[in-house]
Each structure stands twice: as C-alpha cells, then as structure tokens.
Structure 1
C-alpha cells in the first residue's frame, strides 16, 4: 500500500492503461481525480486518515463523514471506506457512513466471516470487497482459495 501522490498517480495511470472503469482506494489527491476524470474513469478514494500496512483508518465518524462531503463538493461520486479497519468501531462507522452519504460506497477490509457478509447486506453499501479472508481460508479452513470463494458466492446467492 502506498500513500504518496506520485505512487497514487502511477496506480491511476496503470488503471487507465488497463482500461478499468473504476479506481478504488488511494488517498485522495486533486491530481489523481483530474487524471481519472480526463480519462473517463470513476474514482472512489479512501476517506478518513488511512495509514499503515495493513491499512488502518483513523478519525471520528463525524470527521470521516465530513471528509466524504468535502470530496463530494469536489466532484467525487463514491468512496472506498476501510470501516472494519477503523480504530474504534467499524460496524458503527459503516452504518453511519452509509446512512449519511448518498454515493457509491465500497466497504473494504476485513470482511472475513459470514456474519460480516450478513452485516453488509443489512447496511446496504453499493459494494464490498474481500481479499485476505479468501487467501487465509476464513470460510473453508481446509479449502483452497477457489473453495473459499465458492463458499462465499454460494452463501451470497442463498440470500
């Protein structure tokens, strides 16, 4: 994970070169937003203070929500929020953020159980991501990555 402007611009250019529709994540920079807009790509930056590896999210719920509102005033139409990486209460933040912000919201980071998937359905973000939980076999302990992914897909299809 990188947080400096040059690295974020490099990532944006790679996304453009690959023909992606969205760039999700990265710390917000005006330069990244401008480059993506010029190339017709949607940008869902992180909100709040994101740092570290693995990433953590700092700031009060109110500060994070205000950060999103400030970015929306700059034309940003969606956000990547590391709710469960919040240093206080990730679920409460996710609920408050989704209720307060009318935008495409992706909840990313630490969606690592069927209970958290259920919470995502309850909260209702635009989308959520899952990564490490599949590699770490959080859903099928003795299964492969594919087995874990299939378990999640089957579970979600049953909802």
Structure 2
C-alpha cells in the first residue's frame, strides 16, 4: 500500500482557498491531507488542521523554513496545531527535541535542501549518506525525499534511499504523472505527495476538476 498525501499547496505555500479543496478531498475519500507552514495565518492553519481531523484524515505539516530559527517556529506551530505528522526540515536534533512527548511523527528531508521552492542538492551518495544519518536518530519516524527536485536518475535515488533505511520514505515535490507514481512505488516508497498538479488540473485524468484529479491519482 502506497499512501497518497494531498497537499493543499502551490509553489511550496498553502493556498488561500484551502478549505474548499480540503472539503472536496475528504468527500472523495482522501485520508492523508497536508499543508505547508507558510501561506496562511496561524488561525487559518488551525482551522484547516481541525477540518482535516474532523474529516477523519491524517494531517501533515511540511516545513519549508530555510534557517534554524524559522524552522524552530514551524515545529512549534506544528505542535500547537496538533497535526499528526511533521514532514520536512533539516534540523533533526532540534526538531526531535521540540517534538519529544508530543505524539507527532517526524519525517525530515534527507540531503541538502536549498531555495524556495525547495531543491535537493548533492550527489546520490551524499543524499543517501544523509538519509542514513537522519533516519538513525531515535526521534525520526521516516524521511521526506524531494526526489524530483534533484538532478540525475530519480528512480535510482528513491530506491537507494529506501534500501538504506527500514523507516518509511515519502516522496515529495513535482509529481504530476502516473509514470512517476509507478516509479516511486517500484522503488519502495511508502507514500508520495501531490498538490500543485491536482489543484491546477495537470494530472492525466478524465477532466481537470479536482474530484477527477484526485480519483485519477488514487487509481495510479
């Protein structure tokens, strides 16, 4: 089973109209829904997290902060929002300490992440070494791999990271086709995120509407 996490985001920001697509996703049976820590004020993010929870879905907050202090604030926000899973970020020791005892699962980025939207930099060997190191931390429950934000052989990268750790690997960023989903599944990924492609009607489906997009992604 490979989990599909629908991200209420575009260009690494939570969309202003997130409540509507969230309701559509819940009605379509999507049970993993996430958002980023930027794009909406905290009160709106709190309402969004509550909406996901009330709909019976697992909630995810993906951290895309670019410095230790803003990452700390994002982790603290995740705790305050009461999401189920924190994705992303790179400051593993600090984040794990902040999340200790919260019950939230934590899945940081492996590798060197730069820019916004985020890019994954470094060689395959460097990314795998980072994945091994971060996955070994006792406060880490899995990894959030920006595979298609890297250069080189992406399926090989996913497979190498999945082989390097027994913890689950989520593939995030720039997924917009059934071929990519097939590749990440074959490589051993536990799940994947799609946001922009579905919201913009770009995933191959019977139509560009969000229900059609979500059904096509789930089928893939």
Secondary structure (helix, strand or coil) at the match of 2:66 reads coil
In structure 1, runs of 5+ residues without a counterpart are none
Corresponding residue for 1:148?
213
Distance 1:28 1:38 in 2: 18
In structure 2, runs of 5+ residues without a counterpart are 1-63
Once the two structures are superposed, residues 11-39 of structure 1 have per-residue CA deviations (whole angstroms, 9 ceiling, x without a partner) of 21221122122100112242211011232
Distance 1:146 1:9 in 2: 35
Q: Indicate the structure whose relative CO is greater, using CA pairs within 8 Å and at least 6 residues apart.
A: 2
Q: CA deviation at 1:142?
A: 5.0
Corresponding residue for 1:27?
90
Relative to its length, the structure with more helix (as a share) is 1
Q: In 2 relative to 1, CA 141–52 (structure 1 residues): closer, same or farther, beyond 3 Å?
A: farther
Corresponding residue for 1:36?
99
Corresponding residue for 2:151?
87
Aligned residue among 176, 191, 196 for 1:127: 191
Distance 2:89 2:167 in 1: 17
Higher alpha-carbon deviation: 46-55 or 87-96 = 87-96
Q: In 2 relative to 1, CA 67–119 (structure 1 residues): closer, same or farther, beyond 3 Å?
A: same
Relative to its length, the structure with more strand (as a share) is 2
Map of 1:5-24 to 2, 5 A cutoff?
Answer: 5-24=68-87
The answer as to whether partners of 1:65 and 1:101 remain within 8 angstroms in 2 is: no
Q: CA deviation at 1:141?
A: 8.1
Normalising by structure 1, we get a TM-score of: 0.87
Distance 1:95 1:77 in 2: 18
**Count of residues in correspondence between the two structures:** 155
Find runs of 4+ consecutive structure 1 residues off by over 6 angstroms.
Answer: none
Aligned residue among 41, 46, 52 for 2:115: 52
Secondary structure (helix, strand or coil) at the match of 2:208 reads coil
Instruction: Give the alignment's Cα RMSD to 1 decimal.
Output: 1.8
